[in-house]
Structure 1
């Protein structure tokens, strides 16, 4: 299966173009790093790939067809700031179970304390809430994960454990994984290839 951006361009209103004619393809089973300076449009590009935002020009294709607009999205975006990706009126358990119900082994591998599930997002730390969001995104019918600086708020040891879990699961399910990060060491260590965002146009 392939996720493809075809000549994607984005700007807001009459403002300057954020980026123009970006082309990229991600296959299931591969781990691709996406690098670029802050403000170049990487996060917006990921939002468009996942269907959370629309492009000004171009289109996103999933195996040659447009992304589904209803139901569970097979392309899941894990945001850098989890508090912006959840409904503050839902408890953590409802947030995590929005698309599926992770089992105990998943919670253990992501170091999620079951007690967190009865708390409101405001009662969790950024790292705790992010682990809830990661579990939510790893449903069996997810085919692509776009990880936008997803472990930035975690300590180094926890980062390593979370990445180990995500990478093992992605490999076992043949999911495609795009890793957006400023950590070149992380990118070089876990990715099969690296894309410079500025070269996509």
Structure 2
């Protein structure tokens, strides 16, 4: 299975193009990095590739077909700011089990404590809530996992632990990864190849 973004261009209204004719191909089992400064359009491309943003030029294909519009999304996007990706009126346990029921092994790998599940999102730190979002997205149906600066707010030890868990599960399930970061060292270390996104700005 392959996730493909073909000649994707995006702008808002009649404003200047954010980026033009971006092309990204990700196979299952591959980790592709997107590198570039803030504001160059990396996050927007991630939203397009995961089906959240439908106003663009070009096409996104999953195994040669348009993205499914109903049911569980086989392409899961983790946002940089987890508080924007959860329902503040739901307790954490309900948020976590929204798409599936993560097992104890995954929760332990992400250092998620059972007591968190009885709390409200506002009662968790940003890093704690992000781990909930990551676990929620790693359902067995997930084929491609897009991480948009997902560990930026975490300390180095927690970052390492999360990446170890995600990369291990990706290898086990043959998931494709798209990893957005400003950190070239991180991308070079965990990705099979890295795309310099500034080449698509015109």
TM-score normalised according to structure 1 size: 0.97
1:52-131 matches, within 5 Å, as 52-131=52-131
1:24 touches 1:200 (CA, 8 Å); kept in 2? no
Match of 1:155 in 2: 155
Residue 179 of structure 1 corresponds to: 179
Gapped regions of structure 2 (runs ≥ 5): none
SS in structure 2 of the partner of residue 153 of structure 1: coil
Contact 2:19–2:200 under 8 Å retained in 1: no
Which SS does the other structure have where 1:147 is aligned?
Answer: strand
The TM-score with structure 2 as length reference comes to: 0.97
SS at match of 2:7: strand
Cα distance in 1 for partners of 2:2, 2:200 equals 17
Greater shift in the superposed pair: 130-139 or 11-20? 11-20
CA deviation after TM superposition for structure 1 residue 200, in Å: 4.6
- Deviating beyond 6 angstroms after TM superposition, the runs of 4 or more aligned structure 1 residues are none
C-alpha separation in 2, matches of 1:57 and 1:185: 32
> For the Cα contact (< 8 Å) 1:8–1:55, is it kept in 2?
no
Q: CA RMSD in A?
A: 1.0
- Secondary structure of residue in 2 paired with 1:44: helix
Q: Distance in 2 between matches of 1:138 and 1:116?
A: 18
Q: Distance in 2 between matches of 1:168 and 1:193?
A: 18
Q: Secondary structure at the match of 1:157?
A: helix
Q: 5+ residue gaps in structure 1?
A: none
Number of equivalences: 201
Whole-Å separation in 1 of the counterparts to 2:2 and 2:67: 11
User: Per-residue CA shift, 1:112-144, capped at 9, x if unaligned?
Assistant: 011111111111100000000000010001000
Partner Cα distance (2:56, 2:31) in 1? 27
On the 8 A contact 1:9/1:55 being kept in 2, the answer is: no
Question: Which residue of 1 is the match for residue 166 of structure 2?
Answer: 166
